[in-house]
Structure 1
C-alpha cells in the first residue's frame, strides 16, 4: 500500500480523486495510454469500490446490466447481468490488480480544497486524513491535472425530509446510506418510505425474513421486470470467446437501452400502456395497478426502476410485501399516520428517500486564489468546466449505464494529454463563448437533481457544450471529437513554472 510519499515527492502528472468505478477506469487508461506519466488515486475511504463498497443495505445491486456497466476493456464474465454489490466489488478489485493500481491508491485521504497556480501551472490540492481526528494533519499535493472521479452524491449524508412526529416513533429509523450492521428485522414489521431504485431493491430483499414489508410512496414509479441473467450475452461469450462475445453483447445492450429510451420519449402513451400491461400481468388479479404503478410523469422523464426476475412483484403476490400510496401526516409511536387517515404499523422505518447531490466531494476550488462558483461554469464536452485549467470530471449517463460515458471521457482526456505533450503545452481550459444559450447540467426530473440545480454548472444547447446522454453522440463528441478548437485555450508554461 503506497504511503503519502507518492503524493508529495514531486508534482504528479495526474491526481485522480476517488477509487470508485470512474477513478479505477481513469487509472487503467493512464496505465495503457500514458505509461510514463506519474499519477496517484486519492480515496477517502479505507477500501476501493466507491458506491459499491459504501452501501450495505440488503440486496444492493446494479440497476444497469453489467455488460454495459462493466468496463469496455474488461469483460464481465459473471452470469449475473443485474449483479449484486459484492460481485461488482470483486470485479473492481480484479481491475485494480490487473492494472497494478494497488500501488497507486492512497486510502483514507480526502481532497478538501484545491487552488490553481497560473505561474506554476499546477494544482495545489489540500488533503486531509480521514482516519484521524486531528486538525493539523493537512498537507498539500501538487498535480498538473486533476481528474475528479468522485461521482455526484454526498457520500457522508443521504437525503431525509423532515417528517412530523419523527421523535414520537418508538421503533428504529434507518437510512439505507448508513445501514446499521446490528439491524435485525427478522419477524419485524417494516415500512420502507420511497419507491425509487433503493426502495424497490429493499422491499423484496427484506420480505422473506420480515413479518411484513410495506413500501410507502408519495408518487408511483415506473417499474419493469428484467432477467437477472442475460442468456443471449452469455451464449455470445461462449461461442465467440470472452472478449469478442463481451464486445458484441455490449453493442446489443446499448442498442436495447437506446431503443427503449427513444420509444418512451417519442411514444409516451403507448410506452405507459405497455409498462402497465406488464405490471398487471405480474401482480395479483385484484391489485390496484392504477393507484400504485401509475406515475404522473411520462416514462423515462425519470429513470425507470428495474426489478430482477420481477422479485418485487413476486413478494407482493406472495403477500410478504405490499404497497401504499399516500402522504405522511405524522409519525406515531407505533408507525405512520397518512393524511387520509390510514395508519401503517411498523417496528422499523427505512427512509429510502434519496441522496444529496454534491460535486467533487464538496471541495472548495479556487483559481489563483479566486473562488470558483460552479453555477457560473459551463460543461465542455461533458468533461471540463469553463475557466478551470487542467481539470476533468467524470459524470456518467442518467438514462443508461454510467460507465459507458466514463470510458469515452477517459479516451478524450488521454488524447488531450498526448496533444499537450507533443506541442509543449502545460495547461488547457475551456473558454465559454459569449451569448451561449444554457440549460441545466442534468436535464433530469429526479428529486436529488432538482434540489441542487442552483449549485450545479450549466450546459449549453449546442455542441461541444452539451452534456449528451447518448453513446452515439458521445462517440462523435469524445472518441472522435476535436481536441483543438476555438473554445480550448492551450497555454505554455512561463519560464519560472515547474515543468
Structure 2
C-alpha cells in the first residue's frame, strides 16, 4: 500500500498498519515495523499532545522507573544512565529513538480513537477519531491494528470512597493527578499506600515536608540496592563499546531476575531474609520489620518495589518518615481517623492507591457490526483474541520489565505480517482448535501466582485464559516466552487465514 500524506481536511487515510499509542510500547513497535517490514505504511495515533504514555501521565515528585533501564529499555537502543531512571530521562530516551529512526513524522498527536470497526468483506479496520475538544477527527483505515495504549485509565485513577472525605479541610490529591502547584514544604503529609508509587514519592516529599506518614493497609516487599551496575561500570572502564555493555548488562539483569523469581517460589523465607539484610544497610542494623514491613504474601506474588540507594529507608532511619499499618475509618476536618482509634493530622493527603484497568483504552470495538466484549474473549498468549482478526495487544510483564515483551511481540508481529504476505492472506483470525472446544474460560491470571489489588478488583474486565494451556494465557514468564514466541508455528491450528 502506498504511503499516504497526512490529510488535515479529515478525509479517510489508508495505511497498512495502525499503531495505537506513542508510549514506550508504541514507539518500540513502530521501530520494529519500520526496520523489519520497511514496505509497510503505518501511522501512530496518540491521544495526548506528548509522547511517553505513562511517563507523561505521572508527574508526582520523584517519578521514576521501578525496573532497570537495561531491561526496561529496548534491546536495540543502549542505555547509558543509572539503572533506575527518572521520567524525564525515559522520555529523552524515547525522543532519541524517534529522532534516530525518523519516526516523529509518523505520530498524530491529540487524536482520540472513538471506534474501531473490522469488516471481513473489506479486510480492513476503520478507525474513527476525534480531537481533544470533541470535534470530529480524521478516519483511518488499516489492514492491521497494533494496540499499544496500555491497560489503565490515564484520566481516572482508583480512589476509594472513604467516609468523610468531604469534611477534610486539607488538600487531598491522587498521585496520578498531582498538581505541581501543591506546596508541601513544612507540611504534615500522609501518603496512603505502600507500593512503587508511594516508595518513589515519599523520599522526595520527606526532603521538604515537616513529616511524612506512610499509611498502608498491608506491608509490601522492598528491594534496596545502589542505583548503579557494577558490571556496566567495569565494562566501560576497560573500554567495551556501549552496544556490548548494554547486551551484557541486560543479560546479567535477566539472569538475576530469573533466579530471584525462581527462589521466591522455592525458598521465599530465605529471600525475605536477604531482602531484610539489604534494607538494614540503609535503615540501620536494629531496624524492626514487625509489624510494618512483614507482608502477608510471599515475595513476587505482588510486584517487588525497588528502592534505589535505599532512599525511603534512609528517611525512616532519620525520623523524617513513619510507617503505620491500619485501615481508614473516616476522614476528619484535620486528617484521618483510623480503625484503631488513632488519628493522623495531615495538611496534605496523597492517595497512592493505584489505578483503574481500562481495556483497549475504553475504545468501542466491532467485528462485522457486532460489539466486542473483551471479558468474554479467549486470549492467545495474552496478545491476540479469538474472533478478533488482524489485531495484537501489547501487554507486558509484571515480574520482569514491561518492555521485554514489546521487543518479543515486535518480532512476532513483523514475522506474521511477512507470513501473511507470503500466503497472499489479508486476514488472520485466532480460532480455538476442536480439541480445546470444551476447555473452560478462566480468569486472566491465577490469583495465587500474582495478585495485586488493581488486577483483582477489575479481573472481570479482562479477557480469559483457555483452560491451563500456556499458549492460551499470558504466562507472565518472559524466560519461557523468549523461547516459545519466536518458535510459534504460524500455520498452527489456532491461526486461520483468508
Given that 1:431 and 1:487 are in contact with CA atoms closer than 8 Å, whether structure 2 keeps it comes out as yes
Residue 482 (structure 1) aligned with residue 489 (structure 2): yes
Q: Which of 455, 470, 477 is the matching residue for 1:449?
A: 455
Evaluate the alpha carbon distance shift between residue 5 and residue 464 of structure 1 in structure 2; reply closer, same or farther with a 3 A threshold. Answer: farther
1:19 is matched with which residue: 17, 22, 38? Answer: 22
Q: Assess if the C-alpha contact under 8 Å between 2:225 and 2:278 holds in 1.
A: no
Q: Paired residue for 2:125? A: 123
For residue 76 of structure 1, the aligned residue among 73, 79, 82 is 79
Question: Which stretch of the first structure deviates more once superposed, 7-16 or 442-451?
Answer: 7-16
Aligned to 1:215: 214
Q: How far 1:379 moved relative to its partner? A: 1.6
Q: Please name the residue that 1:494 is paired with.
A: none
CA distance in 2, matches of 1:42, 1:192: 35
Spell out the pairing of 1:418-433 with structure 2 (5 A cutoff).
418-433=418-433
Q: Paired residue for 1:374?
A: 374
Aligned residue for 2:155, secondary structure, equals strand
Structure-2 separation of matches of 1:6 and 1:452: 40
Partner SS for 2:382 = coil
Structure 1 length-normalised TM? 0.94
Select 2:110's aligned residue among 89, 108, 111.
Answer: 108
Conserved 8 A contact 1:280-1:289: no
Task: Give the Cα–Cα distance (whole angstroms) in 2 for the partners of residues 410 and 456 of structure 1.
Answer: 22
- What is the aligned partner in structure 1 of residue 265 from structure 2? 265
Give unpaired runs (5+ residues) of structure 2: none
After TM superposition, the structure 1 = structure 2 runs for residues 464-475 of structure 1, keeping only pairs within 5 Å, are 464-475=471-482
- Partner in structure 1 of residue 355 of structure 2: 355
Q: Is residue 462 of structure 1 aligned with residue 475 of structure 2?
A: no
1:69-218 aligned at under 5 Å gives the runs 69-78=72-81, 80-130=82-132, 132-134=133-135, 137-218=136-217
Distance change >3 Å, CA 334–CA 286, structure 1 → 2: farther
Measure, in 1, the Cα distance between the counterparts of 2:286 and 2:189: 23
Return the offset for 1:110: 1.2
Contact 1:163–1:331 (8 Å) recurs in 2:
yes
Deviation at 1:457, TM superposition (A): 0.4
2: CA distance between counterparts of 1:138 and 1:75?
Answer: 37
Q: Which runs of 5+ in 1 are unaligned?
A: 492-499
Counterparts of residues 378-397 of structure 1 (less than 5 Å): 378-397=378-397
| Deviation for aligned residue 1:53 | 1.4
Deviation at 1:233, TM superposition (A): 2.0
Please give the root-mean-square deviation of Cα atoms over the aligned residues, in Å: 1.6
Q: CA deviation at 1:387?
A: 0.9
Instruction: Specify whether residues 479 and 472 from structure 1 end up closer, same or farther in structure 2 by C-alpha distance, changes over 3 A only.
Output: same
Deviation at 1:111, TM superposition (A): 1.1
- Match of 1:31? 34
TM-superposition CA deviations, 1:427-460 (whole Å, max 9, x none): 1011123123443223420111011111110123
What's the CA shift for 1:143?
A: 0.8
- 1:334 paired residue number: 334
Q: 1:289-321: per-residue Cα shift (whole Å, max 9, x none)?
A: 111001111111101111100001000011111
Deviations 1:456-477 (A, max 9, x none): 1012321422312222211222
Distance across 2 between alignment mates of 1:328 and 1:346: 14
Gap change, CA 1:271 and 1:438, over 3 Å in 2: farther
Q: Which shows bigger deviation, 306-315 or 337-346?
A: 337-346
CA–CA separation in structure 1 for the residues paired with 2:340 and 2:15: 60
Per the normalisation by structure 2, the TM-score is 0.94
Query: How many residues in Structure 1 have an aligned counterpart in Structure 2?
Result: 486
Given that 2:10 and 2:137 are in contact with CA atoms closer than 8 Å, whether structure 1 keeps it comes out as no
Partner of 1:42: 45
Report deviation, 1:234.
3.3
* Partner SS for 2:114: strand
Report the CA distance between 1:3 and its aligned residue: 4.6
